[in-house]
Structure 1
């Protein structure tokens, strides 16, 4: 193993500039996370408390093991839209009675916990993580069902929630619903489709149609309790397996059910002792360039993340703009692919494909650290077969079976996003740093390409070219791409699993690695045709 030290002068002006820029961006992230935690705001929080109910995150905190971590996912869901940041639901990875689980908790302070289009996307992603990593699911339910004004966008994709719950059960992954309040209309099927259901006495209400709807449809007059109360479902319909005296009792019962499962992971645990890095993760803020046009060394990043700052580099003198090699995070072995100067050349593509094959042979998860402007372009590289070499890399990424975890450190542009296991290639987890950018290409490049195309089109048609209009269009395009490539914007659309403080990277990766080992960790022994 090679122990890396940081190559950046920690007393330089660049180091201080980077650190200040990252701290400012982290402050913006914390501000938006606070918005998500605030839910529907003080008025609706107080109304909820007046009903003697716990808030969504309080329920999560009391459910999980004492002093254990909760890795919240998709915290910025809905950012930049008309919906409340967080999308009226809390999702994340937690440990309950010693078992790593996915927890999904409706936030009833936001429109009664109603589900908008981003709620469904966030829940569906959480269930996808549960399915791929074989993690039991606990639903903390209190929701009025679909957000009716946006039903056209939410209704059809919302069916995936019910599909995924049943598929999880069919694959042997336990699912649980703890119902604290309303679970109506389509939401009634969450407790109906879970393996275990707990309802809170006098509070939980589960029915397809409430008293007003039933009266309109059938003329029948009934009470909430008669239609869907916790006691009725516990004593009459049999939908409820356990009747809880109150919310605390319901959470106690949920922990007991999880304990009784005797759940066991299929993957191995940490195989090496956990050793702290020799470089303080705080240094990441000065190491990583705040300006994406200025490269930084991924080896410096690894020195802050890997156990003991130990890294065994593979092919260090070949394809040098992509760093590959072996290391450990919280005792878990990992194979690492990290972009150096941003561009992926033919040598880097072939090196990556070969390394991915090697990781699959020895059943080691892969960690992709993205900072890439994409595959190299130009006549010389096209004639040399850049497309074929890039295809080798994407083939290897697509057909690799070992778990992938992707971290967006800086630029994530073009097919480089794909080759480095972007979201479309189903990595088990994707996280982003606050300064990361994701788009087809950089804002200036994209605006410039559009300008060149417009200029050539005018010349071909014999039209005069309007320079002023072109300058305005370029400025507008750059502003649009700058906004839409922003990490908050992309996370708001749930194209990743969360924007994280760079200093938390090692902890987040450790939780993710532990989660992927709940399932088998094994590589493929066969790939598609590699174009030679």
Structure 2
């Protein structure tokens, strides 16, 4: 297979500027993630007084020592509703990720009760449900470490209540599909939250700490006048001995996590998956150099072969139709021994490029090869020649092929992702199996300057139609507002805060992230589930 060469010059001023800009963006990402951990850590003394582990420590006890953990959607909720970016705490009140438990790859959700007592946050709901859908699609056991104060009634929103019900729908679907759902109740799980363990296949509850009831003592008294203690209504011992809601009664958090690890081992989840040993070479170029070649300014050109050379085994890339529609780059490669097809952009998508991509997508489906989309495009090309050349129908063919592909699709936003280019290159609206962003990525219906120029032209034409003098000051004011609106919404941090990807990643971690999710998708396709007609019903 041909080996890619690199023309990057680490000594050049452009490389150094790029490296500095990307390093700053990665540092900002890490600072936001650290702010969330510090907010939770501030509750340590309170947790220790109660004899509890902090949510992050619970996760550490659950996971296999030394095994990788791919955390997802770390920026969920960041700057939602125009919150102050210097104070906004990201994460949605949850820790979510794919990790190893007793040698089994699982989807894990941890209520971060160290932040606002684990109260439900709007983006936390979306983050939770995204984790459920990934678990269903990729056939991953679903483990939920539960402790939440429930909904914040002072910030009640009816849409949060309505959409929140989907979490219970997905729990039922997971169980019926034959995927184990495990709840470990460390603290409060009340009202609607009581259905989390209620709809789980296996429930572990911590003695004297766990609570699960539809109505707590205050609501019960207000609704019926009945007086009861929390333990009588929903304590762990009551559920383990009377209601049958808990299968396992743990003495403390650590004991609950020990039981969970033993339970997952007992399920023998990997019995149909013999180990795969595939030796592979590393890329010929250091991942560190990705910071020097990634572009903070999408208006400058980037040869995406430079990116591919730093992601794939041996930097080997068999390009498909290299001389036809050359602005669209397609070809075969491998990542950590897993073969795949790659589609990326060195410019806008034109009719030839769209046709090439369509052909390549269908050929990869024929060969059962996953598809990796590395987005770096200003969109579908416009102009008289492209319109007469059938850009609409050829772009539509590409979208049809991508939407109906029978293989896993993984998307990484590496640069610009504008207009219908976002759609044709498997954007979030087309449900890729996984979608990640580099911190320099920009996503919008078009570039900010382009949008401002378009609106300026329309505004000037409107003035002329009304026989008014063109008000250049008003047009410039409008242009500034449009640019600000687009720039504020286009950056990767804002998009990730709204769950429009599965997380912002350090470009240097791209190969590791891709290796993880490719392995997840591969396991899912090899695994045989044993569905039941309905979800497992509790006695």
Normalising by structure 1, report the TM-score. 0.95
RMSD of the alignment, in Å? 1.5
2:107 is matched with 102
Q: How many Å separate the matches in 2 of 1:484 and 1:46? A: 38
Q: Secondary structure at the match of 1:431?
A: strand
Decide which moves more: 366-375 or 210-219. Answer: 210-219
Q: How many Å separate the matches in 2 of 1:164 and 1:133? A: 14
Q: How many Å separate the matches in 2 of 1:120 and 1:293? A: 36
Q: How many Å separate the matches in 2 of 1:102 and 1:14? A: 41
1:268 Cα offset (Å) = 8.6
Q: How many Å separate the matches in 2 of 1:444 and 1:419? A: 22
Q: How many Å separate the matches in 2 of 1:254 and 1:461? A: 72
Q: How many Å separate the matches in 2 of 1:18 and 1:266? A: 46
The answer to whether the 8 Å contact 1:178/1:250 transfers is yes
Among candidates 352, 355, 364, match of residue 360 of structure 2? 355
Map residues 489-508 of structure 1 onto 2, 5 A cutoff. Answer: 489-508=494-513
The answer to whether the 8 Å contact 1:363/1:521 transfers is no
Among candidates 319, 333, 339, match of residue 339 of structure 2? 333
1:247 is matched with 253
Q: Per-residue displacement from partner, 1:342-372 (whole Å, max 9, x unpaired)?
A: 2111110000000000010011100000000
Q: Gaps (5+ residues) in structure 1?
A: 523-532
Q: How many Å separate the matches in 1 of 2:469 and 2:50? A: 69
1:319 aligns with 2:319: no
1:269 Cα offset (Å) = 6.7
Decide which moves more: 389-398 or 463-472. Answer: 463-472
Q: Gaps (5+ residues) in structure 2?
A: 528-539
- Shift in CA distance, 266/411, structure 1 to aligned 2, threshold 3 Å: farther
1:151 is matched with 157
Q: Secondary structure at the match of 1:407?
A: strand
| Aligned pairs, number | 520
1:429 is matched with 434
Q: Per-residue displacement from partner, 1:241-280 (whole Å, max 9, x unpaired)?
A: 0001111110011111111111138789757423211111
1:469 Cα offset (Å) = 1.1
Map residues 368-447 of structure 1 onto 2, 5 A cutoff. Answer: 368-447=373-452
1:288 Cα offset (Å) = 1.6
1:152 Cα offset (Å) = 2.1
Q: How many Å separate the matches in 1 of 2:107 and 2:79? A: 26
1:527 is matched with none
Q: Per-residue displacement from partner, 1:75-126 (whole Å, max 9, x unpaired)?
A: 0001012463111111110011111111000011222111121110110111
Q: Secondary structure at the match of 2:67?
A: coil
- Shift in CA distance, 412/265, structure 1 to aligned 2, threshold 3 Å: farther
Q: Secondary structure at the match of 2:414?
A: strand
Q: How many Å separate the matches in 2 of 1:38 and 1:325? A: 44
- Shift in CA distance, 521/290, structure 1 to aligned 2, threshold 3 Å: farther
The answer to whether the 8 Å contact 1:267/1:519 transfers is no
- Shift in CA distance, 438/350, structure 1 to aligned 2, threshold 3 Å: same
Q: How many Å separate the matches in 1 of 2:254 and 2:174? A: 27
